[in-house]
């Protein structure tokens, strides 16, 4: 196989800024002539990086979707790429922007109109992982036994992803960011809700109209840096802390090294905040992070990207390529937002019981008002399968899923090992009327969502694994 070109876009709508990248991927069969084909992305090239613009808002609760769409299509023109040329990529809404009233509408509308297969994503854990990929930290961790935390600090949140040996082992998100206090004409113009909660026990909390150089502003920033340090040192067990967004840290190993990315990181590493045309606490936050004594106990590593880490990750690091040994009904593609249920296989468990239980549990999880939505069964840790085993597994799948299928709801099977084609073909041999999507060499888990693109000339499909969680204020 010669190389095959596909184009990807990444769009990040953040609390403070919005930016976009357009990239080109080269695909190639890296297996030998006599081996099962294995298509991989062998090269990723960023073709165009947009300027970093202020995220446009109609008011404090509504994102200006029209202005964002205009910005995106302007970037396509500058990149000399048509939206219809885009085969994969992601639009991600991050930080405080994900709490706005029209956040869900914005990402889905833009994802539908700004590319042939551009997926909509949200959720603080995913943001942290994508930023860690875009900053180069995940790649860096592949060659090290050190436990490395990537802290992506934007306008509204600090998204922490902790990794070792190239695997994410935990995440946590904090209300720590440069826009949590904003100024105008030397006075405080706005204070975010999490900081108002933080100051509830203070004898004299800050209020709008106080001086920008009030000592209590520095006290707020010190509290942000303190909670970040405590989280990284494993010293915070307060689930109700006003600066915690979602769950407590869920990694189980002590952190050895830290990397900062995001807009605030450009002040940390480059000591240059001239690009930050924002009247807020971002620069003060960067300085306090640099000076904080407890944070100096970690090894500090350099990121490849700072302000553009999330958008680079969204545009270049979110796409997987399925195996070439797949069986897909092309008429039902592309499919978006398909929830995944992990059907854990064990050599000692019979297929009928395992599949039946998984389908019942998945139906309970994903059905909407008694109407079945498409979901994918992920067969993890499949044992060696003989021909008889394959046939028995396929009969179990058909027995428990075929009755729930319709023309637009195929059987969707995801497998980590190279069994997709034989399982897909066996299902179709038993019942040719059932639409089937059976893909392999993809790793997912219960709670993930997958988007599956149209079949590429090489016979593979692009797959994006993500979460869809629009958090509240």
Mean pLDDT value of segment 67-86: 93
Helix, strand and coil in the chain, % to nearest 5: 35, 30, 40
User: Residue 280's pLDDT is what?
Assistant: 93
User: Residue 321's pLDDT is what?
Assistant: 72
User: Residue 369's pLDDT is what?
Assistant: 46
E-assigned strand segments in 124-279: 148-153, 158-164, 167-174, 181-184, 187-191, 257-261
User: Residue 118's pLDDT is what?
Assistant: 66
φ, ψ for residue 397, nearest 5 deg: -60, -45
Give the pLDDT band of residue 146 (cuts 50, 70, 90): very high
What letters, b where the CB count within 10 A reaches 16 and e where it falls short, cover 382-391? beebeeeebb
Give the pLDDT band of residue 285 (cuts 50, 70, 90): very high
User: If you write DSSP's letter for every residue of 51-100 in order, what string do you get?
Assistant: --EEPPEEETTEE-HHHHHHHHHHHHHHHT--GGGEEEEEEEE-GGGGGS
Reply yes or no: is the peptide bond before residue 334 cis, omega within 30 of 0: yes
Cβ atoms within 10 Å, residue 331: 9
Q: Are the CB atoms for 445 and 409 separated by under 8 Å? A: no
The model's pTM: 0.78
In this predicted model, what pLDDT tens digit does every residue of 352-369 receive, in sequence order?
888 888 888 877 766 654
User: Residue 242's pLDDT is what?
Assistant: 95
In this predicted model, what pLDDT tens digit does every residue of 418-444 receive, in sequence order?
788 899 999 989 988 888 889 888 887
In this predicted model, what pLDDT tens digit does every residue of 253-284 receive, in sequence order?
999 999 999 989 988 887 655 445 568 999 99
User: Residue 472's pLDDT is what?
Assistant: 46
- Rounded to whole angstroms, the Cα distance separating 379 from 397 reads 11
- Rounded to whole angstroms, the Cα distance separating 275 from 263 reads 9
User: Residue 471's pLDDT is what?
Assistant: 45
Q: Which candidate, 275, 313, 321, 318, places its Cα nearest to that of 20?
A: 313
φ, ψ for residue 152, nearest 5 deg: -100, 110
* Six-digit token string for 334: 């592309």
Q: Are the CB atoms for 199 and 181 separated by under 8 Å? A: no
**Residue 281: which region, alpha, beta or left (left: phi > 0; alpha: psi -120 to 50)?**
alpha
In this predicted model, what pLDDT tens digit does every residue of 209-220 receive, in sequence order?
999 999 999 999
Mean pLDDT value of segment 318-344: 79
Mean pLDDT value of segment 54-69: 92
Domains of the chain with bracketed CATH: 4-122+313-319 (3.30.420.40), 136-304 (3.30.420), 325-457 (3.90.190)
Give the pLDDT band of residue 34 (cuts 50, 70, 90): low
């Amino acid at each position: 196989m010669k190389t095959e070109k596909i184009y990807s876009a990444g769009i990040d709508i953040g609390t403070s800024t919005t930016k976009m990248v357009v990239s080109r991927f080269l695909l190639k069969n890296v297996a030998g002539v006599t081996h099962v084909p294995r298509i991989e992305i062998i090269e990723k090239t960023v073709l165009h990086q947009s300027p970093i613009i202020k995220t446009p808002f109609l008011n404090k609760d509504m994102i200006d979707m029209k202005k964002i769409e205009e910005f995106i299509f302007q970037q396509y023109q500058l990149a000399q790429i048509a939206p219809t040329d885009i085969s994969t990529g992601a639009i991600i809404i991050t930080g405080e922007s994900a709490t706005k009233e029209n956040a869900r509408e914005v990402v889905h509308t833009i994802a539908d109109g700004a590319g042939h297969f551009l997926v909509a994503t949200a959720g603080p854990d995913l943001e942290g992982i994508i930023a860690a990929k875009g900053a180069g930290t995940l790649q860096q961790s592949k060659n090290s036994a050190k436990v490395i935390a990537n802290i992506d600090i934007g306008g509204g949140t600090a998204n922490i992803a902790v990794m070792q040996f190239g695997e994410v082992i935990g995440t946590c998100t904090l209300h720590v960011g440069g826009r949590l206090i904003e100024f105008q004409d030397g006075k405080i113009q706005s204070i975010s809700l999490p900081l108002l909660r933080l100051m509830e026990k203070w004898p004299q909390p800050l209020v709008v109209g106080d001086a920008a150089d009030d000592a209590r502003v520095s006290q707020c920033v010190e509290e942000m840096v303190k909670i970040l340090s405590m989280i990284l040192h494993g010293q915070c067990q307060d689930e109700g802390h006003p600066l915690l967004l979602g769950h407590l840290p869920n990694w189980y190993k002590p952190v050895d090294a830290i990397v900062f990315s995001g807009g605030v990181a450009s002040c940390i590493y480059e000591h240059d905040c001239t690009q930050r045309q924002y009247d807020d606490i971002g620069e003060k936050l960067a300085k306090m992070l640099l000076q904080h004594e407890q944070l100096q106990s970690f090894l500090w590593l350099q990121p490849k990207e700072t302000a553009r880490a999330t958008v680079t990750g969204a545009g270049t690091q979110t796409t997987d390529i399925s195996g070439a040994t797949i069986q897909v009904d092309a008429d039902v593609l592309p499919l978006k937002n398909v929830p995944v249920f992990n059907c854990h296989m064990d050599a000692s468990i019979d297929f009928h019981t395992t599949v039946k239980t998984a389908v019942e549990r998945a139906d309970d999880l994903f059905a909407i008002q008694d109407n079945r939505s498409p979901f994918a069964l992920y067969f993890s840790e499949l044992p060696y399968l003989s021909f008889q085993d394959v046939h028995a597994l396929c009969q179990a799948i058909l027995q428990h899923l075929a009755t729930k299928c319709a023309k637009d709801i195929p059987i969707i099977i995801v497998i980590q090992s190279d069994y997709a084609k034989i399982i897909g073909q066996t299902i179709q041999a038993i019942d040719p009327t059932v639409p089937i999507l059976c893909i392999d060499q993809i790793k997912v888990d219960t709670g993930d969502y997958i988007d599956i693109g149209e079949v590429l000339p090489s016979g593979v499909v692009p797959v994006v694994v993500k979460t869809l969680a629009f958090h509240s204020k």
